Amino acid sequence: LTLIGLFGHPIHHSRSPLMQNAAFRAKGLPYTYVAFDVFPEQLKTAAESIRILGMRGVNVTIPHKVDIMACLDELSPAAKLIGAVNTVVNEKGTLIGHNTDGSGYVRSLLEETRLSLPDANVLVLGAGGAARAVAAAMALQGAKRIQIVNRTPEKGRELAERLGTFCPAEAVSYQDLPELVSEADLLVNTTSVGMHPNEQEIPLPPDLLHEKLVVSDLIYNPRQTRLLWEAAKRGAKTHGGLGMFIYQGAEAFTLWTGEDAPVELMRKTIESSL
């Protein structure tokens, strides 16, 4: 039996154990996935235990995605660009950090919306950890242009600079949203605005939304945020955050096991738990 962990704090809300264990069982693989509540001051010791206990790897979640990097031997190009790790693989004692949040997001986006990234003007709301992951993945996959608008402009500028090596990227201002949204092909909300179930908050004035847009919200609980609802009402194509969660897990599954993940089963497992 091989152990795979999840390091986070707090951890009780996570649906990853349910999803990953269902996937291992369905494929007949001898892995067990266990969540560990790791306090920040214990992260280094917890990372050492991956080697000591012979674990195949771990997922890493809030608040450890950045700090775990200092405990690892190697980082994938995506993890380096994003500046965060959500998946660790133990290759015979060498700990390798990956980031499947961004690539999982893009896979879900392309499958669900059929958008063509090389033709897409992308407008990202927010510049935190989640924005870094999805914007970096879109830049690596050759988006036509990425614009970032953030409440704290300095963070938006930093992110745009990071992306600039891979595709045209710039920080833009909230005041220019009407024009920016009218020219965008894809609008992505990475802020936490709209996150709480029953919350009616929306990260931009809904009348800016239009039918030529694909509107994507990383929030998956509620499944339909007010942003997505207002977008659908105006004829826009919408994309919720559930697919990102499923595919970040599916790509981690493949990194650990070398096998394709049973994506449909993972999706059904999560849907029936929501």
Q: Which residues bind ligand ATR (CB under 6 A)?
A: 126-131, 150-152, 155, 190-193
Q: Would the annotation count 173 as a binding residue?
A: no
Q: Any binding-site annotation on 198?
A: no
Paired tokens of 210:
């239009």
Q: Which is nearer to ligand ATR, 64 or 239 (CB)?
A: 64
Considering the complex, state which of residue 153 and residue 254 has its C-beta at the smaller distance from ligand ATR: 153
Comparison of 151 and 237: residue with beta carbon closer to ligand ATR: 151
Minimum CB distance to ligand ATR, residue 132 (Å): 8
Nearest-angstrom CA–CA distance, 207 and 209: 5
According to the annotation, is 86 in a ligand binding site?
yes
Residue in the structure block whose two tokens are 């909230």? 174
Respond yes or no: is residue 65 known to be catalytic. Answer: yes
Identify the burial level of 9 via C-beta atoms within 10 angstroms of its C-beta, where 0-12 means exposed, 13-18 middle and 19 or more buried.
middle
Q: Which is nearer to ligand ATR, 133 or 143 (CB)?
A: 133
CB of 47 to ligand ATR, least distance (A): 20
Quick one: tokens of 75?
A: 């980082």
Ordered strands of the 74-75 beta sheet: 31-37, 2-8, 57-60, 87-91, 94-98, 74-75
Contact between residue 122 and residue 169 where contact means Cβ atoms under 8 Å apart = no
Residue 93 gets the label, from left (phi > 0), alpha (psi -120 to 50) or beta, of left
CB of 257 to ligand ATR, least distance (A): 27
Q: Give the torsion through C-alpha atoms of 160, 163, 167, 169, to 10 deg.
A: 0
Amino acid at position 75, single letter: L
- In the bound complex, which residue of the shown chain has the CB atom lying closest to ligand ATR? 128
Tell the smallest beta-carbon distance from residue 248 to ligand ATR (Å): 13
Both tokens assigned to 103: 């690539």
- Name the catalytic one among 27, 65, 80, 144: 65
Known binding residue 248? Answer is: yes
Is residue 83 annotated as involved in ligand binding?
A: no
Catalytic residues: 65
| Residue set of the binding site for shikimate | 14-16, 61, 86, 101, 220, 248
| Residue set of the binding site for NADP(+) | 126-130, 150-155, 218, 241
